[in-house]
Amino acid sequence: MEAAVFIVVLVIALALFFDFTNGFHDTANAMATPIATGALKPKVAVLLAAGLNLVGAFLSTEVSKTISHGMIREDGIDASTFLPIIFAGLIGAITWNMLTWLLGLPSSSSHALFGGLIGATLVGTMSAAAIDFGVVLSKVVLPALIAPFTAGVIAFVVTKIAYAVTRRYDNKPDGRDGFRWGQIFTSSLVALAHGTNDAQKTMGVITLALITAGMQDREHADPQFWVIFACAFTIALGTYMGGWRIIRTLGKGLTDVKPAQGFSAESSTASTILASSFFGFALSTTQVASGSVIGSGLGRRGSKVRWGTVGRIAVGWVLTLPAAGAVGAAAALIVVWLGDIWGVTVGALIALVIILAIFARSRRNAVHAGNAMSEVADSGHAVKVKRNPPPTRRQRAILREQARQKAEEEARQKAERKAKAKADAKKAAGEKKKAADDKRAAEKARAAASKSQAPEKGSHGKGGKK
Which of 403, 123, 162 lies closest to 268 in space, CA to CA?
162
- Taking the C-alpha atoms of residue 232 and residue 220, their distance in angstroms, rounded to an integer, is 20
What DSSP designation does 60 have? -
Q: What's phi and psi for 259, nearest 5 deg?
A: -55, -35
Question: pLDDT of 132-151, one tens digit each?
Answer: 888 788 877 887 788 888 88
Residue 386 zone, left/alpha/beta (φ > 0; ψ -120 to 50; rest): beta
Question: pLDDT of 283-334, one tens digit each?
Answer: 777 778 778 888 887 887 766 666 776 777 777 778 888 888 898 888 888 8
- Taking the C-alpha atoms of residue 429 and residue 195, their distance in angstroms, rounded to an integer, is 91
Which of 137, 232, 149 lies closest to 191 in space, CA to CA?
232
Q: Please indicate, yes or no, whether residues 368 and 415 belong to a single structural domain of this protein.
A: no
Whether 41 is in a domain gets the answer: yes
- Taking the C-alpha atoms of residue 335 and residue 324, their distance in angstroms, rounded to an integer, is 17
Q: Strand pairing partners for 304?
A: 384
**Three-state secondary-structure class, residue 303:** strand
The pTM score is: 0.68
Instruction: Decide: 50 and 236 in contact? Cβ < 8 Å.
Output: yes
Whether 278 is in a domain gets the answer: yes
Structural domain containing residue 439:
393-450
Residue ranges of alpha helices (H) inside 280-392 are: 285-299, 307-338, 340-363, 378-381
Q: What is the pLDDT of residue 441?
A: 81
Whether 466 is in a domain gets the answer: no
Helix and strand element counts for the chain (H, E): 17, 2
Whether 457 is in a domain gets the answer: no
Whether 294 is in a domain gets the answer: yes
Q: What is the pLDDT of residue 256?
A: 56
Q: What is the pLDDT of residue 392?
A: 66
Q: Please indicate, yes or no, whether residues 439 and 291 belong to a single structural domain of this protein.
A: no
Whether 460 is in a domain gets the answer: no
- Taking the C-alpha atoms of residue 299 and residue 268, their distance in angstroms, rounded to an integer, is 13
Q: Please indicate, yes or no, whether residues 205 and 271 belong to a single structural domain of this protein.
A: yes
Mean pLDDT, 10 residues at a time, over the chain (466 residues)?
A: 78 88 71 70 80 82 64 74 85 84 71 86 85 81 82 88 72 59 81 79 85 79 86 85 58 55 82 78 75 82 69 76 87 84 85 86 66 43 62 74 88 88 84 81 79 60 48
DSSP string of 106-139, one letter each residue: ---HHHHHHHHHHHHHHHHHS-GGGB-HHHHIII
- Taking the C-alpha atoms of residue 427 and residue 422, their distance in angstroms, rounded to an integer, is 8
Instruction: Decide: 206 and 17 in contact? Cβ < 8 Å.
Output: no
Domain total of the chain: 2
